[in-house]
């Protein structure tokens, strides 16, 4: 199979399984790769050639973007090799490429404690702002999911998330009863129709809300820190990892969820040992 044909199959697969923005993220890389290796056979391309291509294509880009382009190219080969059961090794899976495009070491993320989150929510000025914060911190929603909610997406204690990040057509998020009640009252008080957005604010407004509330407590936070808190708080209270991953965060991979949970301190580890086995 030629590289050109492999890319054609890969694009067809993406059209039915991933969102358009994901396809767009691959577009330029695949175009450049095809222009250089179009007539190469998949089993004839060498790792050294891929390394030279990636070095040239990603020159001047930051490390995380370089790593992403490498991962995308590797995904192309993995897909074709697995789909067509080809008895060849992925030429991207070699130490030379792993080393050249290694994962960027991320700084530990800030994990907000419950008292801080409660105070942030308490300091919000109105019901709308409080609901925006609680849907992230209590229910695990992304800020974009909160802001895209329409009245028709609210059904009792369930939220129907349209066109979610996962690429699915719809996902379901769940709310505690007291938040669901306030959300229903908020919609009724605004006399909103089924196609109206529940909150009617943009991302910048929502981000500024979180930033300013954080400043009052002398902490620097973003909306995503609230979603991350929802996972950590659930984990520290004994909720199974599967529930955190599939219900609260709606991740496809448990490894992604584990990144959200933060580092366990020595004092917390000791506390849990006492909870489990007594002092």
CATH, domain 114-274, list 1.10.443.10, 3.90.1150.10, 3.30.1220.10, 1.20.1250.20: 1.10.443.10
Predicted TM-score (pTM) of this structure: 0.65
Which segment, 98-107, 175-184, 232-241, is predicted with the most confidence on average? 175-184
Domain boundaries, the chain: 3-100, 114-274
What integer pLDDT is reported at residue 104 of this predicted model?
A: 61
Query: Over pLDDT 70: what percentage of the chain?
Result: 95
> How many CA atoms are closer than 13 Å to the CA of 46, on its beta-carbon side?
3
DSSP string, 55-77: HHHTTTS-HHHHHHHHHHHHHHH
What integer pLDDT is reported at residue 264 of this predicted model?
A: 67
Provide the pairing of β-strand 158-162 with 154-155: antiparallel
CATH level 2 (architecture), domain 3-100: Orthogonal Bundle (1.10)
Query: Over pLDDT 90: what percentage of the chain?
Result: 68
What integer pLDDT is reported at residue 107 of this predicted model?
A: 62
pLDDT at 168 over 70: yes
pLDDT tens for 233-276 read 998 888 898 899 999 999 877 777 877 776 666 776 777 678 77
């Amino acid at each position: 199979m030629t590289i050109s044909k492999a890319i054609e199959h890969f694009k067809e697969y993406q059209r039915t399984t991933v969102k358009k923005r994901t396809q767009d993220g691959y577009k330029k890389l695949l175009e450049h790769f095809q222009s250089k290796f179009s007539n190469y056979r998949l089993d004839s391309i060498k790792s050294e050639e891929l390394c030279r291509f990636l070095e040239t294509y990603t020159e001047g880009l930051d490390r995380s973007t370089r790593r992403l382009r490498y991962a995308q190219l590797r995904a192309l080969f993995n897909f074709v090799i697995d789909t067509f059961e080809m008895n060849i090794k992925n030429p991207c899976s070699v130490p030379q490429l792993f080393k050249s495009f290694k994962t960027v070491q991320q700084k530990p993320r800030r994990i907000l404690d419950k008292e801080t989150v409660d105070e942030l929510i308490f300091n919000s000025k109105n019901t709308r702002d409080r609901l925006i914060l609680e849907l992230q911190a209590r229910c695990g929603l992304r800020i974009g999911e909160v802001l895209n909610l329409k009245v028709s997406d609210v059904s009792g204690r369930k939220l129907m998330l349209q066109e979610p990040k996962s690429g699915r057509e719809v996902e379901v998020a769940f709310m505690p009863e007291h938040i669901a009640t306030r959300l229903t009252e908020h919609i009724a008080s605004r006399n909103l129709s089924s196609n109206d957005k529940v909150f009617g604010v943009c991302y910048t407004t929502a981000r500024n809300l979180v930033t300013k509330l954080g400043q009052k407590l002398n902490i620097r936070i973003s909306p995503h820190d609230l979603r991350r808190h929802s996972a950590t708080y659930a984990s520290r209270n004994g909720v199974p990892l599967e529930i955190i991953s599939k219900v609260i965060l709606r991740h496809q991979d448990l490894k992604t969820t584990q990144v959200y949970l933060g580092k366990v301190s020595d004092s917390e580890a000791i506390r849990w040992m006492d909870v489990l086995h007594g002092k």
